[in-house]
Structure 1
Amino acid sequence: METPAGGLRERKKEATRTALHEAAMRLAVEHGLDAVTVEAIADAAGVSRRTFSNYFDGKEDALLYGDEQRMRALLDRFAARPPDEPSWAALRAAFHELAGEIGEPDPSWAAQARLARAHPSVLARQLAHYAAFERTLADLIAGRDGLPPGSTRAVVLAGAFLTALRIGVLTWTEQDPPRSMAEVTDEVLAEMAASFSPAG
């Protein structure tokens, strides 16, 4: 059982990570990533350069922390779905559950997506994060569906789902007039749904 002191320490660590992420986001949007240093991010968050290094390997990781947390939350919600629910339906339900909890992303989140597309170092790190999440998701799908580890179906389903999310987010950032991210992304998910329906 976690002690109250341990819980307080974890909350403080999470608050520091969030503060560094938000500082990195704000400075990158205001000045461009190339002009932003780790020292500037640490200063803006009110911590030392050494403290920054305790939490993130570089400014790209700090910038993408929010995206990473959302992906972890999505995987957690998928794992918690009823075991008799088809995996594709469970994935869509997990997405809608998370979207309902976090609400419509604010403009800075859209700016992050555009920044990731525009800056090679951020895009490379983001793709590495997505690859790791894709492997984890494929393992969760295989376990849910009684498939062997590394099953082609589980790998393809995980890849299709995360690709749909990426397409949905990128499409959402370019909508004019704007629509909700959940609505845009669900359209993309619907385009792939037939291949993974129980009758497919």
Structure 2
Amino acid sequence: MAEGRRERKKLATRAALRRAALRLALRDGIENVTAERIADEADVALRTFFNYFSSKEEALLATAAVGAEAVVACFRARPREESVLHALREAVLEVMDRDDVAGHEHVAVLRLTRAAPSLLPQQLSVLAAQERALAAAIGERLAAPDEAYARLCATTAFATLRVTLDLWLEGSGDDEVPPLDVLRAEVSRAFATLAAGLDR
């Protein structure tokens, strides 16, 4: 019981820090955000911040990482008889049905990453970790080991999702969340394109 409480407290502290980082970046600009200010905003010690994040960039992109981790977890839970791409599409759509993915917080992080070149190195680091985790999950699903296939699927799936999200955001104003049903339709169409093959 005590272990469960400690874990919940850790998760709550991590969430408070990433939300504080996002609030400050949106209000004052990324260049004016520091680890010290994030810790103050979340009402924790600076040492506590560094227990969870190595930099302000990592804290800012933690929301995107949480979304990707949820996709991998949902993919692992899909029925084994589903094809890899079908299971991936269903996992993505399942996560999208949760409030956090289509919410303002996630959209704000996506917009920040598009507008701030300083976030690119951390974005690439997060992306690499996401792709490794998904490739491992895909590899577990295969009847025979095929690392190249697993890595190609993982990389292509996340690239497809990024392109689809980017196009979805382009159709909206700075302060609005575009319709989720549009995103769901575009995700389904994009994964159908992958399944059919890209060679034309």
For this structure pair, what is the TM-score category when the shorter chain's length is used for normalisation?
A: 0.7 to 0.9
State the partner residue of 1:169: 165
Partners of 2:184 and 2:99 in 1: CA distance: 11
State the partner residue of 1:49: 46
Partners of 2:152 and 2:6 in 1: CA distance: 39
TM-score when scaled to structure 2? 0.88
Q: Give the alignment partner of residue 131 of structure 1, picking from 128, 131, 134.
A: 128
> How many residue pairs end up in the alignment?
192
Partners of 1:35 and 1:50 in 2: CA distance: 20
Question: Structure 1 pair 50/176, CA: closer, same or farther in 2 (3 Å)?
Answer: closer
Which of 186-195 and 5-14 deviates more? 186-195
DSSP-derived class of the 2:82 partner: coil
Question: Structure 1 pair 143/130, CA: closer, same or farther in 2 (3 Å)?
Answer: same
State the partner residue of 2:81: 84
Q: Tell me if the contact between 1:38 and 1:59 (Cα under 8 Å) persists in the aligned partners.
A: yes
Partners of 2:121 and 2:70 in 1: CA distance: 22
Superposed CA offset, 1:144-195 (max 9, x none): 1223252x22222211111111111111211148332333333322322213
- Alignment-mate amino acid for residue 130 of structure 1: L
The runs of at least 4 consecutive aligned structure 1 residues that moved more than 3 Å come to none
DSSP-derived class of the 1:85 partner: coil
Q: What pairs up with 1:14-29 in 2 under 5 angstroms?
A: 14-29=11-26
RMSD: 1.9
Q: Could you tell me the percent identity over the aligned residues? A: 40
State the partner residue of 2:191: 189
Q: Unaligned regions of 5+ residues in structure 1, if any?
A: none
Partners of 2:101 and 2:3 in 1: CA distance: 32
Q: Tell me if the contact between 2:95 and 2:101 (Cα under 8 Å) persists in the aligned partners.
A: no
Partners of 1:186 and 1:86 in 2: CA distance: 15
- Alignment-mate amino acid for residue 32 of structure 1: G
- Alignment-mate amino acid for residue 63 of structure 2: G
State the partner residue of 1:157: 153
- Alignment-mate amino acid for residue 153 of structure 1: Y
Q: Unaligned regions of 5+ residues in structure 2, if any?
A: none
Partners of 2:133 and 2:112 in 1: CA distance: 26
Partners of 1:103 and 1:7 in 2: CA distance: 23
Partners of 1:135 and 1:182 in 2: CA distance: 25
